[in-house]
Amino acid sequence: MLGLPLVYNYSKSIYQGGSRTWDIKQDSHGIMYFGNSEGLLTFDGRYWKTFSLPNHTNIRSIWIDVNDRIYVGGKVILAILNALRNQD
Higher pLDDT, 88 or 34: 34
Residue 18, pLDDT above cutoff 50: yes
pLDDT confidence tier of residue 22, bands split at 50, 70 and 90: very high
Residue 20: CB atoms within 10 Å: 11
pLDDT of 88: 45
Q: What's the distance, CA 33 to chain centroid? A: 3
Q: Taking residues 47-74, what's their average pLDDT?
A: 90
Higher pLDDT, 85 or 30: 30
Residue 48 · residue 56 · CB < 8 Å: no
Angstrom CA distances, 5 to 2, 15, 46, stand at 9, 22, 19
Q: Which residues, other chains included, contact 28 with Cβ-Cβ below 8 Å and sequence gap of 6+?
A: 68
